[in-house]
Chains A and B, each alone.
Chain A
Amino acid sequence: MSGCYAPDGTDAVSPANSGRLSEFFMTTGMRSQTATALSLDNLNVSYSTGPMKPKRRVVEDLSLEVQAGEVVGFLGPNGAGKSSTIKAVMGFLTPDSGTIRVFDEPAGTPAANSKIGYLPEVALYYPFLTPMETLWLYGKLQRLGGKALRDESYRLLNLVGLGGKEKQPLRTFSKGMQQRLGIAQALLGNPDLLVLDEVTSGVDPIGRRHLREILADVRSGGTTIFLSSHELDEVAQLCDRVILIHGGRKQDERPVDDRFRQGIGSALENYFITTIQQAEEQYAKENNP
């Protein structure tokens, strides 16, 4: 968002005629200068399970940092607390305690959100609108408008493979096509930080490879990416670092080195399974001494 504006607050130059996405990000980039893109400090999140019932804690004392320009994979089994953490980052949940900051702005505030592009885990976009109308709405909510918004919408739809379907109602879109639209809306306004929850969910193998290429381009433009995924191949290929959580607690974090990238994710898969098993054993010991 911030990258789309000149310092005087006027609309930035349209990226429509730029070539690769990375070039666009680099040429128009006014990236936030803060080194830490995202920081979570002792985050605790719990859900109410009903009136008069105790709350269920889903994130426990979670602390992490994502540096600007970094691509971090946020991994964990189902129910580990990944989506809850991401929702807290976006301000959709109010934490019980702890702090979350996005480029030094408190999470969930308009100032923080203006720097984020977000892809929810599953979203059924407005079935009676077209992709262009959907992007027009989201653009308007982030101070974009006019020809710049129109051109960027066309370009993003082309980029995610929805070119030629700009005026087709979304109710005719498959899940994979909706996910591509989700990527387009997340990229709208050239955000400093991309928060992606299950980025390739519902996308076919060809589409997955295509989306990986797009994210690689975004990354090379200097955008920070924080993504959760069960697709360990794509995590291995995209991420600089992975953070593993289980039972709402951080279990481990480490850089993704060449060892993880070779063997198409099998090494990362082994690392994932081993770490989670150790965490479960530890948990069993703690609860059944």
Chain B
Amino acid sequence: MNIFLFKLTVWGALAYTAVLESIRRKDLWVAAILAVVMIGAASVIGHFGVRGLEMFLKDVTLTVVNILSVILAVLFAARQMPEEISRRTIYPLLARPVTRFDLIFGKFLGALTLSTISLLTFTVIGWGALLYFGLGVGAIFWQYLLLRFFSLAIICALTIALSLFLTPQATATMALLLAIGSSTFSTAVTMLHGSVGSAVRKGLEVAYFTLPQLDLFDLSKKVSYGWKPISGTTVLLLLIYAVVHSAIFLMVGAIRFRRQAL
């Protein structure tokens, strides 16, 4: 068997198992119920005059989709590695002819697949609610979904890397802070940049370019306010940005895990 094909098989098998287990655990049910409740509540408000509230409804719906998909991505990814270690199922896995990086990458793919399934579930529910009120979302919506997928890849990679350094609880807290606080961080940096000394300014620049700017992947506001689709070049640049950041996080995790005593 070709080595690359074998690697694909290994990663695929690990990812498939993670997804299967999560579905059996009914994790996605929680997600679906949450989305129905929250988007349903927002759409009740819509009856006060949907015509005028079109933007508000879209805004609330996509905000719910954004927040829930990030939370679930973090929760899915945060437990992948620690659970393998605490249940000791990591031993039979690593006793096979696979590397530790294979395990990390397979788990990353599993968490990303689960997060994407959740994202699509939320989207279908949200879209259904909007359609119910006769509200369309336009072509930019597909770009929104694609960019969400890119950002979930970064979040999963970041969380898996953190889970190899921190306890599961600390991982979830830290990853959620980084993921949800990204927008605030970005705004704060751009505001502070002009009003601080040169040393601090350099520090802010380093932090801005090092930390993943997940806010760049959020097209929800443009969807809500009816803007036109963004350029293909931007989508391509964001794909590169997501791949580079995910790869860096997975590498950092792999370096840490490579010599970790189990």
Contacts and interface: CB of A to CB of B under 8 A. Distances in A.
The reply to whether A and B meet directly (CB within 8 Å) is yes
A269 interface: no
A9 B259 contact: no
Interface residues of A, number: 38
A14 interface: no
Contacts of A64: none
A120 B93 CA distance: 11
Nearest to B91: A120
B221 interface: no
Nearest to A9: B1
Interface string A101-122: 0000000001101101110101
B87 interface: yes
Contact of B261 (A92, A129, A141, A169): A92
Contact of A129 (B20, B91, B98): B20
B6 A143 contact: yes
Contact of A93 (B87, B97, B261): B261
Nearest to B90: A92
Given A9-B1, A126-B21, A118 B92 contact: yes
Contacts of B25: 128
Contact of B93 (A110, A124, A136, A141): A141
B3 to A, nearest CB: 10
A153 interface: no
Given A141-B13, A143-B1, A143-B6, A123 B92 contact: yes
B95 interface: yes
A141 B262 CA distance: 19
Nearest to B258: A94
A142 interface: yes
B97 A87 contact: no
Interface in B1-39: 1, 6, 9-10, 12-14, 17, 20-21, 24-25
Q: State the main secondary structure of chain B at its contact with A.
A: helix
A106 to B, nearest CB: 13
A120 B88 contact: yes
Contacts of B1: 9, 143
Interface string B78-100: 00000000011101111111110
Most chain A beta-carbon contacts within 10 A, residue among B1, B20, B88, B96: B96
Most chain B beta-carbon contacts within 10 A, residue among A1, A87, A126, A133: A126
A128 B97 CA distance: 24
Contact of B97 (A113, A122, A133, A145): A113
A182 to B, nearest CB: 7
B261 A113 contact: no
B94 A126 contact: no
A125 interface: yes
B92 to A, nearest CB: 6
A139 to B, nearest CB: 9
Interface in A1-40: 1, 9
Interface of B: 1, 6, 9-10, 12-14, 17, 20-21, 24-25, 87-89, 91-99, 259, 261-262
Given A113-B96, A120-B92, 18 more contacts: A91-B94, A92-B94, A110-B98, A111-B97, A113-B98, A116-B95, A118-B92, A120-B91, A123-B88, A123-B91, A123-B92, A124-B88, A126-B89, A128-B20, A129-B20, A129-B24, A182-B92, A185-B92
